[in-house]
Amino acid sequence: MALMAAPASAPMRKAEAREADDYVVPVIETLGAFATEFEVPCRVTVAADGREIAVSLSKHVLAATQRVQVTPAVQRIPVLVADFERVPGVWLPGNVQLFRDGAYIGATRWNPAGDERFTLGFGQDDLLRVTVDRKVQQDGSAGFAGQKLQRKVVDTYTLTSSHRNAIDVIVLESSPVAQSQEIEVERSFQPAPAGDTWKNRQGVVFWQKKLAPDEAWKIDAGYTITYPKEGLVSGLP
């Protein structure tokens, strides 16, 4: 019985197989006057049970700004957010699947039309603790002979990080906005917000800070609202 060495071309065939696995089918993009058509010249298997079939059109690696965002007055759950610039090309609306650290965290509906920057939320941040304490709540009368009612409230937001490294945090506050000349709203913030308008949203102020590990960040948000005794006023804090 004779023994024969494996042919030298065998390793080459394995390498060619690996290259075949990494092969990406070129996508043909046709731009019309009002629509864009994509053609992927490959076979796909469509099941008869109604499931969706996804076909990759392109792949991009983007530099994103990562931060933790929270709106304590509405919801105390902080969310990890990634913000990145629009890249050239056509971006189709649809469902987006989100993965964080290799784990699937959910999906969202995405419509990129008209946005210069894209923002996606990647789930709850379990290492940032947020508490809300109402320091002051007073109701009384104001104006000449007590013709108006007045409410004064002050809330303290405390954010404490358990991250091993410093993280960028943005706190949003949707402050009351008077819709009538008979209603007066005085705002008092400590420290002062970084901005009075968040993404062109009226009444939404924000603070931003690089929060160190085990650091506690306190924010006081206070309002004094004066309004008529007659009628109904909604949205009081």
**What residues contact residue 194 under an 8 Å CB cut-off, 6+ apart?**
206, 207, 208
Distance CA 234, CA 237 (A): 9
Q: Is this prediction's pTM over 0.85?
A: no
pLDDT at 21: 58
**Series of mean pLDDT values for 10-residue runs along the chain (237 residues):** 39 50 70 78 84 80 92 94 84 85 88 79 94 89 75 95 96 87 91 90 92 96 89 74
